[in-house]
C-alpha cells in the first residue's frame, strides 16, 4: 500500500463533489486515478460498469485497465470471504468491457447503442475512415463547393477569389481557408451557430464599441503590448545616456521628452480611447531618437533600430477609426460568402461520408452530442443514471465539444477531472486550457480544486530548477498563463534529495570552432554531433544503458540531424518520424519505379529509378546520355536505342502494366536485385510492408489501375503519415523524440535540443481564423490590390502570437520535467554576455527562444541549480563496437510477455571514425553488395572470364576490370577452394534464441563438413593489415559463431574473413 501524501489522499477519498485535480509533472496522477478507482470499487462498492473514465489516448486507457486489473488481482488474493471474492471476480471480468476509454471510443459506444435515434445506417458506424480516405473525400467535397460557385459566377465569389490570389485560376489559398474554417467549426458543440456568428461580427458596425468584446479587448491588448515594448526600449536608451553619454544633453533631452509623452499613451489605453492613443503616438514619433554619439556603440545602434522598427510598425496600422469601421462593413459580403462556401463544403462532405457508409472522429463527437440532446435528453438521462462517477484525464486538453458531452451526462456532483494547465500543448488540436482555468477561477457550490504538488520523478535540483524557471517565465506581465503558489513543487521521497547534479547548459561556440578547426559545418550538425558525443561519454563514465537517454527536439527536422550522426557513430536509436512514411527512401524508390513504369518518358522518375539499387546505373551514364541524346528526347527513348543489360526488365514491366495487379507489380519490384532483402533496413522493410498493404487495400476498394493508385498517393502523401514502427518500449536504444511525443514519459538522462530563436508566426494568409474571434481578413482595394490591415486582423494576430508564446512556455515545461536524474540543455551561442539582462515581456515577444529564457533567468539570478559548460574546441567520438548493436524487440504475441530483443549480427561490426565528418558516401556498401551478389551467383569455382561476364549480365551488374580480376583470383585461391567442400550455403539465413535475445542475420558463406563448420565472410574494405580486419569484424563473426553453436552444438566451428582487397583468407581465432 503506497504512502499517500495528504493531497493525494484527499483526491482519492473525497466523494460527492466535482473534483478538479491540478497535477504537476511527476506528481503520480495516474497512480492516484487508479487508487480512486479502487476506492470506489472496493470501499464504496461502485461496480466497474457504473464508472466512466475517459483518457486522452488508447495507450493511456489500456494502461489504466492493466493497472486496475493488477490491483484487483491483489485484492482478490487478499479477500477472505466468498462474497468478497465473487464481487472482485465480477469486477475483474468487467474490466475489458468497462467504459475506460478515449472520449472518441465512448462517443462511438453511444452511437452504436442509439444510432437509430438519428436514423444512422448501422453499417456506417462500423467503418471509421483512415487518413488517406479522409483526404480524398475532403478534396471531393471542396470540388463540389467550388463547382457550385463557379457555376453561379456571382460578384462576391469572383472578388473573393481575386482577394485570395492575384492569379484568378489559383484558388488553393481559398480552399485551405475553407478547410481550416470547417475544422474550427467541428471543434464547437454547435458548428452552425458558430458559423452564423462569423459574418455577424462584420455586419452594421459603425463604432469600435460595436465590435464583439473579444475583438475589442484583444485590439487594445495589442496596443498595450506594443506600448510596453516601445517604452522598455526607450528606457534602455535613456540608461545608456545616463551611464555613457551624460554630456550629450540635447540628444538625451529628446529621449526624455518621448518618455514623458508616454504618459498620454498610458492614459488613452486606460480609458480605451483609440482616437486619443492615435493622436498621442503620432505626436511622440514626430521627434526622432538621434543616432549614437559613438558610432562604435553597437548596443545603442541595435536599440535605436528596434525603436524605429516599432514606430514604423505602429504607423503602418494606426488608421482613423472611421477608416477602420468602413473597412469592416466593406468586408461583410466576403465574410458571408466564405461562410456559405464552408457550409457547402460541410454538407458535401457529410453526404459523401453517408454515401460511402463511413464516419470520422468529428462525427463520433457530434453524433454522440446529437443523440444525447435528442428527444428531450432521454439518452443523456440514461447515462446520468448509469454513471456514479465520471473521470476525465488530461482535462487541460479538452475542447468545447468534449466538455459539453460531459456536462450533458453528469450529475451536479460526480465529475472527477485531472489535468495540468502547464502541460497543455495541443493547441493545434483545438485544446482549450481556458476550460480548466475557468473551473479553477470560478468554483461552484459542489466544486473543489486539489493541487498535487509533490514530484516523485525528478531529483531535487531538477524540481527546484523548474520551480525557479517557471515562477519567473510564466508570471511575466502580459501573459495569461501563470505559475501560482500552488504550482510550486517539492520532492516526494528522501531519495530524490541524494546524488544531485546541477542542470547543465552546454554552450557550444559554433563560430569559434569553425574558425579554429577550419571546417564547414552547420550549427545543427555541430549540435547533433556534440549531443551524440556527450551520450557516449556519460554512458561509458556511468555505465548506463542506451535506453537511459532521450534527445528531445522541437520539430521533426532535428530528428534527421540526430539520425545522421547516430548512423555514423553506430549508436543504436529509435526515431519516430511522423511525416516519414511516404518520404522514406525505400518507399520513394518503389514509387519512382511505379511512376516510371506508368510514364517512362518522365525523365525525373526514370532517372530516379535507374540510379536506384533496382538498376544501379551511374550518374556518369546519364551524363553521357545527356551529351548524346537529341534535344527534347527523353532518357527512356535514348536508352531504348542504347540498351544496357537489364533494361529489358523495365520494358517488360512497362508492357505488363495493366495486366498485373498493383500488389503483383510491387512484389516484382521488391524482388529486383533482391532489393527488399539486401538493400533495406528493418525500418524500411516495415515501411515497404505497409506500402504493399495499402496497395492491397486499394485493390479491394477500387477497380482501378496503377494510375489511380499513384494519384491517390499524391493526394494523401502530404498528410502526416508516420513511418511504420518496428520497435518496442523496452528496446535498449537511445530515443529521439519531439517534446510532444515525450509527454507523460520519463527518462534518467534528458538532452534538450535548445534554440535561441523561435520562428515568428507568419501571417501571410489573406484571411485567418480563430475559435473565439472568428474570421479576420485584410481589406483590399480591387483591382489595384492595395491592402490594409483591420481591427479584427490586428486583434487576432496578437491573440495568436500571445497564445503561441504561452504554449511554447508550456512545451518547455514538458521538456524540462521529463528528466529523472540529469538534465542537459544544448545550443550554439556567440557569447554569454548577450543573455545577462533580465527576462521581460519584450524579450518574450521578441521570440528569443528557450535558450534566452533559460540563460536570462539563471545568469541574472545565479544559482547552484544551474551550471554552464562552455565548449570552444572540437571533440572526437569513436564509432561504437560490438556492444552498440542495433536492438529491436521480437514480439510474437499481443498478450503481455517478456520482451525479447532482436540483435543483428552485422551491427556488431566495429569501425574507426578517421575524423569528425558529415560526409554520407554509400558507394562502398553498394560495391560490397554487388560483389556479394556475384560470388553467390557464380557458385562453385574455378571461373573463367566468360563465365563471370555471363553471370554479371544475368545479375544486371557492370564489372570493371579490377572486379573481374578480383573474382578470378578468388576462384583459384587455394584456401577458398579448400573450404568449398561439403554442404555449401551462400547468404545463409539464421534466427536463434539466446536467452532474452533473438540473434538473426545472413552469413555470406557456410560450409558444413561432417562435424566441422567453416563460416566465411567476404569483405571489400580497403584495409592494409589482417589485424585491422580482425579488429573491425571480430564482433560480427563472434555472433555468427555463437548462433551456429546453438544450432550445431557438436560441430567444431571456424570463422574466417576473405579480403577481396588483399586477395587472401584471414583466420579469426
Distances (CA, A) of 934 to 949, 968, 1014: 10, 12, 20
Alpha helix ranges (H) inside 115-212:
131-152, 155-164, 172-186, 191-200
Q: Is 24 annotated as contributing to ligand binding?
A: yes
Residue 312 has a CB neighbour count (10 Å cut-off) of 10
Q: Is 377 annotated as contributing to ligand binding?
A: no
Name 173's bridge partners: none
* CA dihedral sign, ordered 150, 192, 130, 581: positive
Coil, strand or helix: which one is 73?
A: helix
Residue pair 503/729 in contact (Cβ under 8 Å)? The answer is no
Does the bond joining 942 to the residue before it have cis omega, within 30 degrees of 0? yes
Give dist(CA 856, CA 882) in Å, integer: 43
Q: Is 584 annotated as contributing to ligand binding?
A: no
Strand order across the 503-509 sheet:
573-575, 734-738, 549-553, 747-753, 819-829, 503-509, 866-871
Q: Is 23 annotated as contributing to ligand binding?
A: yes
Show the cell assigned to 441: 477561477
Residue pair 576/886 in contact (Cβ under 8 Å)? The answer is no
- DSSP letters for 885-934: PPEEE----SS-----EEEESGGG------S-------HHHHHHHHHHHH
Largest CA distance in the chain: 103
Show the cell assigned to 1017: 565472410
Residues 6+ apart with CB under 8 A from 961: none
Coil, strand or helix: which one is 184?
A: helix
Q: Is 57 annotated as contributing to ligand binding?
A: no
Q: Identify the DSSP state of 730.
A: T
Q: Is 25 annotated as contributing to ligand binding?
A: yes
Taking phi first (over 0 means left), then psi (-120 to 50 degrees means alpha), and beta for anything else, what does residue 982 get? left
Q: Is 915 annotated as contributing to ligand binding?
A: no
Q: Is 348 annotated as contributing to ligand binding?
A: no
Residue pair 264/280 in contact (Cβ under 8 Å)? The answer is yes
- Bridging pattern class, strands 767-770 and 454-455: unpaired
Give dist(CA 68, CA 90) in Å, integer: 13
Residue pair 846/752 in contact (Cβ under 8 Å)? The answer is no
Give dist(CA 561, CA 557) in Å, integer: 7
Please compute Rg for the chain using Cα positions: 34
Residue 931 has a CB neighbour count (10 Å cut-off) of 20
Give dist(CA 532, CA 528) in Å, integer: 6
Alpha helix ranges (H) inside 400-488:
400-409, 433-441, 460-473
SS3 annotation, 551-600: EEECCHHHHHHHHHHHHHHCCCEEECCCCCCCCCHHHHHHHHHHHHHHCC
Residue pair 965/990 in contact (Cβ under 8 Å)? The answer is no
Q: Which residues are annotated as a binding site for ATP?
A: 23-30
From the annotation, which residues make up the binding site?
23-30
Amino acid at each position: 500500500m503506497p504512502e499517500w501524501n495528504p493531497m493525494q489522499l484527499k483526491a482519492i477519498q473525497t466523494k460527492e463533489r466535482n473534483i478538479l485535480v491540478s497535477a504537476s509533472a511527476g506528481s503520480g496522477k495516474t497512480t492516484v486515478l487508479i487508487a480512486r478507482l479502487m476506492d470506489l470499487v472496493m470501499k464504496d462498492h461502485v461496480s466497474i460498469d457504473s464508472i466512466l473514465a475517459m483518457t486522452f489516448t488508447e495507450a493511456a486507457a489500456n494502461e489504466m485497465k492493466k493497472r486496475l486489473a493488477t490491483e484487483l488481482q491483489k485484492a482478490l488474493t487478499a479477500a477472505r470471504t466468498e462474497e468478497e471474492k465473487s464481487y472482485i471476480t465480477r469486477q475483474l471480468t468487467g474490466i475489458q468491457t468497462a467504459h475506460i476509454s478515449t472520449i472518441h471510443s465512448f462517443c462511438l459506444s453511444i452511437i452504436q447503442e442509439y444510432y437509430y435515434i438519428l436514423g444512422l445506417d448501422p453499417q456506417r458506424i462500423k467503418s471509421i475512415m483512415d487518413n488517406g480516405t479522409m483526404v480524398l473525400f475532403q478534396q471531393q467535397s471542396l470540388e463540389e463547393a467550388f463547382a457550385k460557385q463557379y457555376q453561379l459566377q456571382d460578384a462576391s465569389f469572383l472578388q473573393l477569389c481575386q482577394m485570395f490570389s492575384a492569379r484568378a485560376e489559383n484558388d488553393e489559398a481559398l480552399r485551405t481557408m475553407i478547410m481550416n474554417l470547417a475544422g474550427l467549426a467541428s471543434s464547437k458543440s454547435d458548428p452552425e451557430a458558430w458559423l452564423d456568428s462569423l459574418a455577424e461580427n462584420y455586419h452594421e458596425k459603425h463604432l469600435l464599441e460595436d465590435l464583439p468584446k473579444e475583438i475589442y479587448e484583444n485590439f487594445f491588448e495589442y496596443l498595450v503590448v506594443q506600448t510596453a515594448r516601445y517604452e522598455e526600449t526607450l528606457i534602455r536608451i535613456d540608461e545608456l545616456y545616463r551611464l555613457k553619454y551624460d554630456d550629450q544633453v540635447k540628444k538625451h533631452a529628446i529621449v526624455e521628452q518621448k518618455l514623458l509623452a508616454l504618459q498620454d499613451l498610458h492614459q488613452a489605453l486606460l480609458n480605451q480611447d483609440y482616437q486619443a492613443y492615435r493622436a498621442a503616438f503620432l505626436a511622440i514619433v514626430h521627434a526622432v531618437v538621434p543616432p549614437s554619439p559613438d558610432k562604435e556603440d553597437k548596443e545603442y545602434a541595435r536599440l535605436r533600430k528596434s525603436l524605429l522598427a516599432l514606430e514604423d510598425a505602429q504607423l503602418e496600422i494606426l488608421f482613423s477609426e472611421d477608416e477602420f469601421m468602413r473597412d469592416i462593413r466593406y468586408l461583410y459580403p466576403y465574410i458571408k460568402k466564405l461562410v456559405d462556401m464552408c457550409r457547402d463544403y460541410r454538407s458535401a462532405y457529410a453526404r459523401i461520408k453517408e454515401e460511402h457508409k463511413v464516419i470520422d472522429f468529428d462525427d463520433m463527437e457530434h453524433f454522440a452530442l446529437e443523440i444525447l440532446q435528442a428527444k428531450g435528453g432521454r439518452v443523456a438521462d440514461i447515462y446520468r443514471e448509469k454513471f456514479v462517477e465520471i473521470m476525465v484525464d488530461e482535462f487541460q486538453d479538452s475542447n468545447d465539444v468534449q466538455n459539453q458531452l460531459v456536462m450533458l451526462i453528469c450529475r451536479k456532483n460526480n465529475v472527477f477531472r485531472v489535468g495540468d494547465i502547464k502541460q497543455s500543448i495541443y493547441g493545434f488540436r483545438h485544446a482549450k486550457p481556458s476550460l480548466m482555468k475557468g473551473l479553477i477561477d470560478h468554483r461552484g457550490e459542489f466544486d473543489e480544486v486539489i493541487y498535487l504538488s509533490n514530484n516523485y520523478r525528478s531529483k531535487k535540483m531538477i524540481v527546484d530548477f523548474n520551480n525557479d524557471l517557471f515562477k519567473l517565465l510564466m508570471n511575466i506581465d502580459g501573459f495569461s498563463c501563470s505559475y501560482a503558489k500552488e504550482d510550486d513543487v517539492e520532492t516526494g521521497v528522501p531519495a530524490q534529495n541524494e546524488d544531485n547534479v546541477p542542470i547543465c547548459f552546454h554552450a557550444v561556440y559554433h563560430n569559434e570552432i569553425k574558425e579554429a578547426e577550419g571546417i564547414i559545418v552547420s550549427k545543427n550538425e555541430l549540435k547533433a554531433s556534440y549531443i551524440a558525443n556527450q551520450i557516449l561519454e556519460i554512458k561509458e563514465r556511468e555505465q548506463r544503458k542506451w535506453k537511459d537517454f532521450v534527445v528531445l527536439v522541437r520539430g521533426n527536422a532535428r530528428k534527421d540531424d540526430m539520425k545522421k550522426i547516430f548512423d555514423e557513430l553506430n549508436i543504436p536509436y529509435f526515431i519516430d518520424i511522423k511525416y516519414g512514411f511516404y518520404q522514406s527512401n525505400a518507399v520513394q524508390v518503389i514509387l519512382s519505379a511505379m511512376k516510371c513504369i506508368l510514364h517512362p518518358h518522365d525523365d525525373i522518375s526514370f532517372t530516379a529509378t535507374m540510379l536506384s539499387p533496382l538498376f544501379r546505373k551511374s550518374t556518369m551514364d546519364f551524363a553521357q546520355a545527356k551529351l548524346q541524346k537529341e534535344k527534347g528526347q527523353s532518357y527512356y527513348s535514348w536508352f531504348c536505342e542504347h540498351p544496357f543489360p537489364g533494361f529489358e526488365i523495365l520494358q517488360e514491366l512497362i508492357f505488363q502494366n495493366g495486366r498485373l495487379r498493383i500488389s503483383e507489380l510491387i512484389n516484382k519490384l521488391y524482388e529486383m536485385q533482391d532489393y527488399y532483402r539486401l538493400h533495406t533496413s528493418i525500418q524500411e522493410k516495415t515501411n515497404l510492408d505497409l506500402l504493399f498493404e495499402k496497395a492491397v487495400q486499394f485493390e479491394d476498394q477500387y477497380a482501378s489501375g496503377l494510375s489511380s493508385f499513384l494519384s491517390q498517393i499524391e493526394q494523401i502523401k502530404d498528410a502526416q503519415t508516420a513511418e511504420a514502427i518496428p520497435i518496442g518500449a523496452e528496446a535498449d536504444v537511445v530515443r529521439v523524440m519531439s517534446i510532444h511525443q515525450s509527454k507523460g514519459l520519463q527518462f534518467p538522462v534528458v538532452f534538450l535540443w535548445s534554440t535561441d530563436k523561435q520562428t515568428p508566426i507568419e501571417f501571410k494568409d489573406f484571411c485567418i481564423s480563430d475559435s473565439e474571434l472568428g474570421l479576420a481578413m485584410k481589406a483590399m482595394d480591387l483591382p489595384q490590390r492595395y491592402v490594409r490591415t483591420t481591427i479584427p486582423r490586428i486583434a487576432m494576430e496578437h491573440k495568436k502570437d500571445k497564445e503561441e508564446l504561452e504554449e511554447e512556455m508550456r512545451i518547455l515545461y514538458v521538456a524540462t520535467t521529463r528528466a529523472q536524474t540529469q538534465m542537459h540543455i544544448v545550443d550554439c551561442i556567440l557569447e554569454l554576455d548577450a543573455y545577462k539582462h533580465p527576462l521581460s515581456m519584450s524579450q518574450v515577444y521578441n521570440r528569443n527562444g528557450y535558450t534566452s529564457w533559460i540563460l536570462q533567468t539563471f545568469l541574472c539570478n545565479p544559482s547552484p541549480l544551474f551550471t554552464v559548460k562552455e565548449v570552444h574546441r572540437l571533440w572526437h567520438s569513436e564509432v561504437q563496437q560490438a556492444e552498440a548493436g542495433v536492438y529491436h524487440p521480437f514480439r510474437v504475441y499481443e498478450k503481455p510477455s517478456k520482451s525479447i530483443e532482436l540483435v543483428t549480427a552485422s551491427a556488431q561490426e566495429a569501425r574507426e571514425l578517421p575524423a569528425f565528418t558529415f560526409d554520407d558516401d554509400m558507394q562502398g556498401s553498394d560495391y560490397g553488395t554487388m560483389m556479394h551478389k556475384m560470388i553467390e551467383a557464380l557458385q562453385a569455382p574455378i571461373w573463367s572470364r566468360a563465365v563471370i561476364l555471363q553471370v554479371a549480365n544475368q545479375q544486371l551488374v557492370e564489372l570493371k576490370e579490377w572486379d573481374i580480376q578480383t573474382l578470378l583470383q578468388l576462384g583459384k585461391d587455394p584456401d577458398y577452394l579448400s573450404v568449398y567442400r561439403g554442404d555449401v550455403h551462400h547468404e545463409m539465413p539464421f534466427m536463434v534464441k539466446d536467452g532474452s535475445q533473438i540473434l538473426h542475420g545472413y552469413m555470406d558463406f557456410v560450409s558444413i563438413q561432417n562435424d566441422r563448420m567453416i563460416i566465411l565472410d567476404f569483405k571489400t574494405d580497403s584495409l592494409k593489415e589482417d589485424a585491422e580486419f580482425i579488429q573491425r569484424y571480430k564482433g560480427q563473426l563472434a555472433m555468427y559463431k555463437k548462433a551456429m553453436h546453438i544450432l550445431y552444438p557438436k560441430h567444431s566451428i571456424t570463422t574466417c574473413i576473405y579480403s577481396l582487397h588483399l586477395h587472401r583468407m584471414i583466420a579469426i581465432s
